[in-house]
Amino acid sequence: MAANNQLRDPSGKVIVIGPPKYASRESQGVWQKPGSTTSLWKIYTNQGPFNTAFNMITDADRQGLPVPAFAAIRGYKFQAAGSAQWNDAYILQTTILTGTFFAMSQQGRQNVFRQWLATLNPVTDRAVLNLCLTAAQAAAKVGLRDPQGFCEKTRREPVVFIDIHTANPPSAAADQMVEQVQARIGA
């Protein structure tokens, strides 16, 4: 039995990865990629949820939703702590983001996006606000169910979304983002 979560790479090398950095309902969790300071790995052991997640982020990206750079990693095995079994690992790799974290549907985090917008000047930061509006409109268009991500004024895309889940119709939270940006532009 494994004392810690482990991966076995395609060459057979075992990598102890310990506990996840972030918990996840649909996967084993999210870890910092072994040996990397710039990538995260969301590790699935069931191909169905992985395919769903990968297809949603791919489709959202194609429709213009700002998302971190991502890739599918295959060929690894995953062993959960306390288990003797190795399972196929389906890995969604994304770039680590910086900035202010927001989650429009999380209790206590709903106002973070609005507070961040309030730091932007409607005149001198007009270009940034226009990019924010485009991002929020894309979130509504793709049917983002739980808008969350990172805001950073100096990034090429000031709002980047993570943990992409889409549905039709979209959640009211995506529409609220659009309204909040429009209100700030009109301030």
pLDDT of residue 2: 72
Tally Cβ neighbours within 10 Å of residue 30: 18
Confidence of residue 187 (pLDDT cuts 50, 70, 90): low
Residue 63 lies in a domain: yes
Position 75 in a domain = yes
User: Residue 105's pLDDT is what?
Assistant: 85
Helical segments of the chain, H only = 47-62, 112-118, 126-142, 172-185
Provide the strand spans (E) within 61-164: 70-79, 87-95, 100-103, 148-151, 159-161
> Do residue 139 and residue 162 come from a single domain?
yes
φ and ψ at 46, to 5 degrees?
Answer: -130, 120
pLDDT in tens, 33-42: 999 999 999 9
Residues 87 and 12 in one domain: yes
Q: How many angstroms separate the most distant Cα atoms in the chain?
A: 60
Q: Is pLDDT above 90 for 169?
A: no
Same domain for 87 and 143: no
Which H or E run contains 6?
Answer: strand 6-8
Check whether residue 90 and residue 27 sit in a common domain: yes
- The domain containing residue 175 runs over which residues? 100-185
Q: Total domain count for the chain?
A: 2
**pLDDT tens across 17-29, in order?**
999 999 999 999 9
Is residue 91 domain-shared with residue 112, that is, in the same domain? Answer: no
Tell me: pLDDT of 82 over 70.
yes
Q: Mind listing the pLDDT tens digit for each residue in 40-53?
A: 999 999 999 999 99
Task: Identify whether residues 91 and 157 lie together within a single domain.
Answer: no
Average pLDDT over residues 151-174: 90
> Does 127 fall in a domain?
yes
User: Running DSSP on this structure, what letter comes out for residue 171?
Assistant: P
Answer whether residue 1 is part of any domain.
Answer: no
pLDDT tens, residue by residue, 91-122: 999 999 999 999 998 877 778 999 999 999 99
